[in-house]
Amino acid sequence: MIGLNKKYTIVSLVVITIITGALTAKAFQLYNTCNYNAESGNYVVNNKTYAHGTMDSAFQCALYGVLPQVIIDRLGIFGSDAIKERAEEIIETNKDNQKKE
């Protein structure tokens, strides 16, 4: 009976290790999906560099709390009240998701 419990414990540890590894790999992949260069603020995708991304691309980074500060600093500085409001929502989303780490 003791041998059986030991077998279940080992199997459980192996399963937990595999799941943890998969989640870590997925988190790393998601972190790398933020295509902004943290220093320049340029948006880089498919080896092409653009001066700016879109509000949607900023939001995607904010979902994981990885929106670079250079983007936060310029997000929504121009445009209508609706654009400025959307920028604030993205910045808050980024802050909220940084706390979850």
The secondary structure of 18-67 as a DSSP string is HHHHHHHHHHHHHHTT--B-TTT--EEETTEEES---HHHHHHHHTTT--
Q: Is the pTM of this model over 0.85?
A: no
| Residues 24 and 42 reside in one and the same domain | no
| Residues 99 and 63 reside in one and the same domain | yes
| Residues 4 and 42 reside in one and the same domain | no
Alpha-carbon distance of 3 to 38, in angstroms, equals 53
Q: How many domains does the chain have?
A: 2
| Residues 100 and 69 reside in one and the same domain | yes
| Residues 58 and 23 reside in one and the same domain | no
| Residues 6 and 39 reside in one and the same domain | no
Range of the domain at 21: 1-32
Q: In this structure, what are the phi and psi dihedrals at residue 52, rounded to the nearest 5 degrees? A: -140, 150
pLDDT of amino acid 10:
76
> 45 versus 22: which is more confidently predicted?
45
Q: Are 101 and 65 in contact (CB under 8 A)?
A: yes
| Residues 25 and 42 reside in one and the same domain | no
Q: Which amino acid is at 63?
A: L
pLDDT of amino acid 31:
45
